[in-house]
Structure 1
Amino acid sequence: MLRIGLIVYPGFQVLGLAMCATFELANTATDEPVYSLCLLSEHGGTVQTSAGFGVETTAFDQRSFDTLLVMGDNLIRPVSPGLVQFLRSACRTTRRLGSICTGAIALAEAGLLDGRRATTHWCHAPALQKAYPNVKVEEDRIFINDANVWTAAGMSACVDLALALVEKDLGAEVARRVARQLVVYHRRAGGQSQFSVMLELQPRTDRIQAALTYAKQNLKSTLSVEELASAASLSPRQFSRVFHAETGQSPAKAIENLRVEAARLMMETGRHPIDVVATDTGFGDRERMRRAFIRAFGQPPQVIQRANRG
């Protein structure tokens, strides 16, 4: 049985508890239960969540854990000396340590992220980097695994991290079954961006949303204004006007951004040659994709690809 300790403290972000469902369902997807869960806190007893209700916890003690995960917070709060001491002691006997969101601050304060790659919620990443310059903070990641330390972005990224841990322990097929039961896509890759072009565009009407969905599903097509307008059931002239009014971008620019996002994801989740990525995401050739990457990231795709393989 793999004992997992979830470390909480007053005001921790309640969404982090969603991880529990992932491990719970993993137990039902195997012949025998694999995980046991324990909510830990420095002093034990009832600990208030960010939502205002309390959860019962067990105080730090000498019990050993296979995995310890520090929950996150909506704010950056001082890390208690007791938590720092517990983490420093536990790291000698625990197989892996991890954090959600600002939980990375506790790992960093304990010195467990020195020289390591780590991530946190994008809005707290600059503060983490400033306070702990020895940590290699990568703010635009869903989660990062560096040796036996796992750090994840905030909010729903806790589920991605939990699915990644299940996949590491029990294999990809079990993780897929758990993801289906959770009614989520199979976990996002750790290197995937915390940002989404579709979320940033935020169209107000179903017609423009339909056109964007069509575009994302057909990136290899030319995706002319006429084709997109047809998907939105609008004339080309109406479509261009309404699209810009709702998204603040021209259709051509939005499509380029969707292609860049798809290309970057391909490079983050596989070892596809640049030419294949350019073809599969609709750029057509590597030079066109290179120019788009420089506009979006200030770097050519080869640099981003090497960084993800490093």
Structure 2
Amino acid sequence: MATIAIAATDGMLHFELATACEIFALDPSGLADPWYDLVVCGSGPAGLGRFRVDPDDGLDRLARAHTVIVPSVADVDADPPPDLIDAVRAAHEAGARMVSLCTGAFVLAAAGILDGLRATTHWAHTEVLAARYPRVRVEPDVLYVDNGAVLASAGKAAAIDLCLHLIRRDHGSTVANAVARRLVVPPHRAGGQAQFVATPVPARDDHPLAALFPWVLARLDQPLTVEDLARRAGMSSRNLARHFRAVTGTTPLQWLSTQRLRRAQELLERTDRPIDTIASAAGMGTAATLRRHFNRTLGVPPETYRRTFRGA
């Protein structure tokens, strides 16, 4: 029986811990024999706020597990506890399969386990992870990555995706699908994190482009060029680009493309309009162009996005 050990420490968030316990603690109606032996490991009672957990064993137990799961930590700016770093490093050196959920990637990165490997974390922290650990190949747009012996998931619900992926690897699709049905979630979600990242217009209204943004957003269905935007803002194209970079961190065309994509997302979520109508309303011209942008940026076609996000 393969042992799955969860590292529980102070400052962890409970969602990913509870997710792993829910998925790996119960045998799915005898479909897999043997199932996993789940153990929660820590140096003492751990948690965050009102949520507390009493570990089954000490952190040294991680080195004797087949798979080690490191749930998310609340404060990515704080250094992980040294005893946790030592324990996950020892488990890795002992040959355990290492798994981080959400910001648990910061623990594996601090232990050097992610050096030279692909990794991900919650989209809000991918830039921090990449900057702090430049030897880690951070992929911000995926739901999870699988390097074989080292795996990492993006934020929150992506932990479920990765846990189901582990079951699919260990026991096959039939068992993974059965667990997914019990959880009332899809056994596999298409696309990546990009489809869940909000891209709002900057909230500040005291910058030189404050009047331009609403003007553009009201005309996304029209053909707009950088020269059109510069003329409306009363500045040269070069000056416009400089202000765009300062305010949005990107170029005018990239920002415009993002807003068109976001408009298409909103229409897919809130209306029953056909894809070609939405493409026109978002200024993308044709359904083919819209599909190309969706597949390239979000990793899914617009039809899949609509099924995922459209409310009943």
- Is 114-123 or 253-262 further displaced after alignment? 253-262
Aligned residue number for residue 277 of structure 2: 224
Cα displacement string for residues 49-74 of structure 1 (whole angstroms, at most 9, x for unaligned residues): 3x522111122125610100111023
Cα displacement string for residues 115-164 of structure 1 (whole angstroms, at most 9, x for unaligned residues): 11111111111111111111111111110011310011111111001000
Equivalent residue letter for 1:5: A
Residues 122 and 140 of structure 1 are in contact (CA less than 8 Å); yes or no, is this contact kept in structure 2? yes
Residues 66 and 95 of structure 1 are in contact (CA less than 8 Å); yes or no, is this contact kept in structure 2? yes
Q: Note the 1:24-173 alignment, pairs <5 A.
A: 24-41=25-42, 43-44=43-44, 46-49=45-48, 52-57=50-55, 58-62=57-61, 64-76=64-76, 77-173=78-174
User: Among residues 266, 269, 291, which one is paired with 1:259 in the alignment?
Assistant: 291
Residues 263 and 282 of structure 2 are in contact (CA less than 8 Å); yes or no, is this contact kept in structure 1? no
Q: Give the drift of 1:197.
A: 6.9
Q: Give the drift of 1:224.
A: 3.1
Cα distance in structure 1, aligned partners of 2:70 and 2:32 = 29
Cα distance in structure 2, aligned partners of 1:73 and 1:198 = 20
Secondary structure (helix, strand or coil) at the match of 1:72 reads coil
Q: Give the drift of 1:251.
A: 4.4
How many pairs align? Answer: 236
Residues 29 and 177 of structure 1 are in contact (CA less than 8 Å); yes or no, is this contact kept in structure 2? no
Give ranges in structure 2 of 5+ residues lacking alignment: 200-261, 305-312
Is 1:10 paired with 2:10? yes
Secondary structure (helix, strand or coil) at the match of 2:15 reads helix
Is 1:211 paired with 2:271? yes
Return the TM-score normalized by structure 2: 0.65
Cα distance in structure 1, aligned partners of 2:127 and 2:53 = 31
Equivalent residue letter for 2:147: D
Cα distance in structure 1, aligned partners of 2:81 and 2:112 = 14
Secondary structure (helix, strand or coil) at the match of 1:91 reads helix
Cα distance in structure 2, aligned partners of 1:112 and 1:38 = 22
Equivalent residue letter for 1:68: V
Residues 104 and 120 of structure 1 are in contact (CA less than 8 Å); yes or no, is this contact kept in structure 2? yes
Cα distance in structure 1, aligned partners of 2:293 and 2:198 = 12
Equivalent residue letter for 1:134: R
Task: Give the 3 Å change call, closer, same or farther, for CA 264–98 of structure 1 in structure 2.
Answer: same
Residues 14 and 51 of structure 2 are in contact (CA less than 8 Å); yes or no, is this contact kept in structure 1? no
Q: Give the drift of 1:173.
A: 1.4
Aligned residue number for residue 194 of structure 1: 193
Residues 108 and 114 of structure 1 are in contact (CA less than 8 Å); yes or no, is this contact kept in structure 2? yes
